Amino acid sequence: MDAPTLEPKFLPSGHELGVVAVGFSGGQGKQGVDAAPMALIEAGLINQLRDELEYNVHFDGEVHAYTDIMPRDDPPYRNMKRPLSVSAVTKALSEQVYEHASQGRFVLTLGGDHSIAIGTVSGTAKALRERLGREMAVIWVDAHADINTPETSDSGNIHGMPVAFLTGLATESRPEVFGWLKDDQKISTKKLVYIGLRDIDRGEKKILKDHGIKAFSMHDIDRHGIGKVMDMALGWIGTDTPIHLSFDVDGLDPMWAPSTGTPVRGGLTLREGDFIAECVHQTGSLVALDLVEVNPSLESEGADQTIRAGCSIVRCALGDTLL
């Protein structure tokens, strides 16, 4: 691996930061994940990015709930729950993210459940293709692979499907159900890297194997250590590819991030999570970050620590260092 550089390679200025706050929970069944952006902001996150890390923050000051574009009637379709709502919200979000990314800003999106990555990744992928003529890589940190197709999903919750839509493994022609996703908004399965996996559905295992998708499970982290795993993950992506980091807080062990919709024991430590973010920052290739699935309503005591863990990951990805 090349020596780490702190100069951003794919952003004209390292100091312009677009923030989108997404109060959306429709990709899964539990209320409360929509309150995460406000909780993160009230914990001081945006002020820290502005005052301590010296970003020029572009934020409309709003937690978007998208209620005006949400259909009243949204029955299941092809086993997907709330398909019209998730599709409409992610389409609107895709345009918001695209707007920031096409102006050369780093884009930070605060979710919301992980279905919103359909909007964030599609927005940055399109902007980077247009701006730099480059295909983007995605590092997906998560306990789950979120790569079910509507047909392989048991739950029908779309927060378990975003990667399938983003890679084109799941397709749908109806524009009101993700048919709006065009090729220039998608990513290659060869440019996708998972870290932290430990709860993968049978159908997903087959998808990962059949498509040769690069995935570092908790087993790999136990075997090699997080340092070696990051070297391998970033080596796979290479030094000439912009990176979008999509970080599900359930990638962390519930000991550190208990307040999340689908916690799975045996996960990343707080430091391993921060280390992933620090390493990706050091590549200089990071162009966007999602922080998702913080649900402050699920745990009374654990909510605070989960919010703090989330803030820490964001700060690390944006250049905060221990020394």
Question: What is the side-by-side strand order in the sheet with 192-197?
Answer: 56-64, 16-22, 106-110, 286-292, 243-248, 137-141, 192-197, 214-217
Residue 142 or residue 253: which is nearer to Mn ion going by CB? 142
Going by the DSSP 8-state scheme, the letter that residue 260 receives in this structure is: S
Tell whether residue 199 is a contact of Mn ion (CB under 5 A).
Answer: no
Compute the Cα dihedral for 250, 39, 61, 176 and give only its sign.
positive
Tell whether residue 146 is a contact of Mn ion (CB under 5 A).
Answer: yes
Residue 149 or residue 282: which is nearer to Mn ion going by CB? 149
* Residue 74 annotated in active site: no
Cβ atoms of residues 245 and 137 within 8 Å: no
Catalytic-role residue among 34, 172, 199, 250: 250
Footprint on residues 299-318 left by Mn ion (CB under 5 A): none
Catalytic-role residue among 34, 64, 100, 159: 159
* Residue 15 annotated in active site: no
How far is 290 from 57, CA to CA, in rounded Å? 16
Residue 17 or residue 197: which is nearer to Mn ion going by CB? 197
Q: How far is the CB of 199 from Mn ion (least distance, A)?
A: 10
Q: How far is the CB of 262 from Mn ion (least distance, A)?
A: 8
Residue 248 or residue 272: which is nearer to Mn ion going by CB? 248
H or E segment to which residue 273 belongs: helix 270-282
Judging by DSSP bridges, how do beta strands 106-110 and 16-22 pair with one another? parallel
Tell whether residue 142 is a contact of Mn ion (CB under 5 A).
Answer: yes
Residue 142 or residue 320: which is nearer to Mn ion going by CB? 142
Q: DSSP states of 74-135 as a string?
A: ---BTTBSSHHHHHHHHHHHHHHHHHHHHTT-EEEEE-SSGGGHHHHHHHHHHHHHHHHS-P
Residue 269 one-letter amino acid:
T
How far is 43 from 41, CA to CA, in rounded Å? 5
* Residue 184 annotated in active site: no
* Residue 142 annotated in active site: yes
Stretch that binds Mn ion, among 51-59, 144-152, 182-190, 202-210 (CB under 5 A): 144-152
Q: How far is the CB of 68 from Mn ion (least distance, A)?
A: 27
Binding flags for Mn ion, 114-133, as an x/- string (CB under 5 A): x-------------------
Q: DSSP states of 136-205 as a string?
A: PEEEEE-SS-----TTT-SS--GGG-HHHHHTTSS----GGGTTT--GGG---GGGEEEEEE----HHHH
Cβ atoms of residues 218 and 266 within 8 Å: yes
Angle at 269 between CA 289 and CA 286, to 5 degrees: 20
Catalytic-role residue among 248, 253, 278, 290: 248
* Residue 60 annotated in active site: no
* Residue 114 annotated in active site: yes
Stretch that binds Mn ion, among 61-69, 70-78, 141-149, 315-323 (CB under 5 A): 141-149
Q: How far is the CB of 70 from Mn ion (least distance, A)?
A: 22
Q: How far is the CB of 167 from Mn ion (least distance, A)?
A: 15
Stretch that binds Mn ion, among 10-18, 119-127, 142-150, 225-233 (CB under 5 A): 142-150
Footprint on residues 59-118 left by Mn ion (CB under 5 A): 114
* Residue 100 annotated in active site: no
* Residue 211 annotated in active site: no
Burial 82-102 (b: 16+ CB within 10 A, else e): bbbbbbbbbbbbbebbbbbbb
Residue 125 or residue 292: which is nearer to Mn ion going by CB? 292
Catalytic-role residue among 114, 172, 253, 274: 114
Helix, strand, or coil (residue 58): strand
Q: Give me the active site residues, please.
A: 114, 142, 144, 146, 159, 248, 250, 293
Q: Which residues bind Mn ion (CB under 5 A)?
A: 114, 142, 146, 248
